[in-house]
């Protein structure tokens, strides 16, 4: 069995699927062996730019993806800097964090390392 150690493309003549670990350059993104990513819209080697959003170095957010995962085209990973105003329509259930209209904990304290697809 051929290992994924240095290969970008797991299949000959298929440039839409890559071993994601070998295409990542950001030290705050960790990907396990044999995890693949398929992108039929953009170059899959641009995963960091197109799929990992709002991950700014100053926030020290980390993305950890395990071994043997398969990530679909268009999957997005949103980070701490994606927060928005409490006066706008929320994308998560703020009622869990609010008591009588007062924020129980600052929202940025509820964020940190995202462990996904483990």
Q: For 43-89, what is each residue's pLDDT tens digit?
A: 999 999 999 988 888 888 899 999 999 999 999 998 876 665 555 55
> Whole-angstrom Cα distance, residue 105 to residue 50?
31
How confident is the model at residue 83, as a pLDDT? 65
More confident position, 95 or 24: 24
Residue 74 lies in a domain: yes
Decide: residue 54, CB within 10 A, 0-12 exposed, 13-18 middle, 19+ buried: middle
Q: Are strands 36-38 and 17-19 parallel, antiparallel or unpaired?
A: antiparallel
CB of 2 closer than 8 Å to CB of 37:
no
Residue 3 lies in a domain: no
Residues labelled catalytic: 84
Residue 103 lies in a domain: no
Residue 43 lies in a domain: yes
Residue 97 lies in a domain: no
How confident is the model at residue 1, as a pLDDT? 44
Q: List 38's β-bridge partners, or say none.
A: 17
Q: Which domain holds residue 47?
A: 17-81+112-116
How confident is the model at residue 117, as a pLDDT? 45
Residue 68 lies in a domain: yes
Q: For 8-45, what is each residue's pLDDT tens digit?
A: 999 999 999 999 999 999 999 999 999 999 999 999 99
Residue 105 lies in a domain: no
- Give the containing element (helix H, strand E) for 71: strand 70-71
For the whole model, what pTM was predicted?
0.65
How far, CA to CA in Å, does 99 sit from each of 95, 96, 102, 103, 108? 8, 8, 5, 7, 17
Residue 7 lies in a domain: no
Q: Count structural domains, the chain.
A: 1
How confident is the model at residue 88, as a pLDDT? 55
């Amino acid at each position: 069995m051929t290992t994924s150690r240095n290969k970008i493309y797991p299949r000959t003549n298929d440039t839409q699927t890559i071993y994601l670990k070998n295409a990542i350059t950001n030290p705050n993104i960790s990907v396990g062996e044999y995890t693949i990513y398929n992108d039929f819209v953009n170059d899959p080697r641009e995963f960091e730019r197109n799929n990992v959003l709002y991950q700014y170095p100053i926030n020290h957010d980390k993305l950890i993806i395990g071994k043997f995962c398969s990530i679909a085209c268009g999957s997005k990973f949103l980070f701490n800097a994606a927060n928005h105003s409490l006066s706008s329509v929320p994308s998560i259930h703020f009622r869990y964090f609010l008591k009588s209209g007062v924020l129980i904990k600052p929202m940025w304290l509820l964020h940190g390392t995202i462990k996904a697809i483990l």
